[in-house]
Structure 1
């Protein structure tokens, strides 16, 4: 049976009240189980941290926008023109740079998100460093992007791993280092101590083992085909009949 254990990718948070919540045992979860329970676990964590939802030692730039249910740990930093949206956890010592958008994500202790980072439904381990212009998609393209229905999958060595949700970006391991202008997902897992070189694109379902170096070859080949819309598809079916 395919398995993706969070403990194979990340270290549990150990500082602040967050360490006494379910997030403090994050590594004990199977990925799909955690994704299915995430909202409830986050609600429980909010109740536990109470008045320290945003720790008094955290720095929030006056131009940053922080959601009402976001948890920000000790000595974390959120810089100018950044938005941290619903359900996000920013662990102790983590830093989110200029003009980022972080939605429903977990940012591990001492991890750095550089400038213009956009991530959604993503889990990032400790001591990672995402440089600039890194985008993680959380849903597949569809005719109605507001109501995604296609389940996100991962291709693990044992077979196809269903994530149990149509909304999941990436699982990024401890000590991941990236260059700039990188696109991931939806549905990507990258092991600990890996390096993503600038300009890399990792498409859906890919699982990268720990201590990997990933780069995309430069190519001038561009493949273009006509996009078939719903109406055109109906006409094609009619002609076939």
Structure 2
């Protein structure tokens, strides 16, 4: 049995990801890009090599990633035209070979790769597709299943019309990539679901082997998905690890699984409760509270700030702020007293506008989502689910009820929207 080529798809562009401008696959979690975690999870004893379909913008950064063994081959997808086009781009590299197709912006436990590849080694399956039970409605693909055979991938069914409770996980094995490529060429569609249609056509004769997966699953489709992905990574921390190069004041408190990087300073009366991650050269000031959050490198959490269940990127400066269930992409500045509201008084789910459509985030608690380089003035208040574009400026004392465009300057209080 030939070992498959692991093909990691990272050539897409996040059309629903504003105001976050960082490529999804390059978002850092626990100090490493998301796609690096995926690459490091692959068992090199069971695969021939790793092939990444990248784009022009991310190919250099991905090229710097070092796998546990061997090397990464990169091919560039010229336009973000979906998974099917990504495989067409890689045709010369994968033609006639077994392949394992992986979404570079998803996160699963490495046991899933092992289970799929182990099933492939039995030699009887042309196609293997894993599925996972998902409690709430999932804005992605579902599996139509009968007698433990996958018969079809149904992309984005309406709530209540799902063919099963199993969602499609893109860790797909194909014994011969040519079979899939042939079906891709037969599909005529104006949307980005050509790959799913091609796979379903391939399953018309006998279906695919099903691997049931019960482990953690994270994905980043919308910007608020970063919070759930951060929670997933933090849940993997099992012990306290403090760099010998960090300086921890004797009166600081560190509880639970907390990772503290090199040259970090934690000042007196600061409290860090895990799971939490503090990146290299960051500072946690006096009387600060950090709870279940990721904080990047070179970030200053100044006096008396609280960071709760949030993702804070590199190079941020905070001072006497409440940052709850919030995403700061990086290089963000919050003046003293600026806060993020993260909960509606009616306890309803928080919606966010994406391409002129109100999307239910499914979250009861969601603060602000702030693009790289945006600044927020003293005593400003950001309402739940508000998005601030990169390099935007929110003036002092402003209450923000609606999204702020990239590089916009907002110095007057917005009118409160009518219920």
> TM-score per shorter chain, which class?
0.7 to 0.9
1:171 corresponds in structure 2 to: 369
Q: Distance between the aligned counterparts of 2:405 and 2:289, measured in 1?
A: 31
Partner of 2:16: 4
Correspondence list, 1:1-241, <5 A: 4-5=16-17, 8-10=20-22, 12=26, 18-21=31-34, 29-44=221-236, 46=237, 53-85=259-291, 87-114=292-319, 116-142=320-346, 148=347, 150-203=348-401, 206-217=402-413
2:160 paired residue number: none
- Per the alignment, do residues 182 and 157 of structure 1 end up closer, same or farther by CA in structure 2, a change over 3 Å counting? same
Tell me the distance in 2 between the aligned counterparts of 1:102 and 1:182: 17
- 2:83 is matched with none
Query: CA contact under 8 A between 1:179 and 1:196: conserved in structure 2?
Result: yes
The offset of 1:51, in angstroms, is 5.7
Give the C-alpha shift of residue 208 in structure 1: 1.7
Distance 2:375 2:30 in 1: 28
Q: Which has the larger radius of gyration?
A: 2
- The answer as to whether partners of 1:13 and 1:23 remain within 8 angstroms in 2 is no
Residues 171/9 of structure 1: CA separation in 2 closer, same or farther (3 Å cut): farther
**Residue 236 of structure 1: aligned partner:** none
Normalising by structure 2, we get a TM-score of 0.44
Distance 1:193 1:186 in 2: 20
The Cα shift of 1:22 comes to 6.7
Aligned mates of 2:288, 2:388 — CA distance in 1: 25
Give the structure-1-normalised TM-score. 0.74
CA distance in 2, matches of 1:194, 1:70: 28
How far apart, CA to CA, are the structure 2 residues paired with 1:215 and 1:136?
17
**Displacement of 1:33:** 3.7
Structure 2 residue runs without a partner (length 5+): 1-14, 38-104, 107-218, 244-258
Q: Tell me, in whole angstroms, the C-alpha distance in 2 between the residues paired with 1:67 and 1:200.
A: 31
State the aligned residue count: 205
Unaligned runs of 5+ in 1: 143-147, 220-241
Q: CA deviation at 1:28?
A: 5.6
What's the CA shift for 1:215? Answer: 1.7
1:178-215 CA deviation, whole Å, 9 max, x = no partner?
22011111110011010011111012xx2221111012
1:10–1:192 CA contact under 8 A, matched in 2: no
Is the alpha carbon distance of 1:23 and 1:57 closer, same or farther for their aligned partners in structure 2, counting shifts above 3 Å?
farther
Cα distance change of structure 1 residues 136 and 9 upon mapping to structure 2, 3 Å threshold: farther
Change (3 A) 1:212 1:47: farther
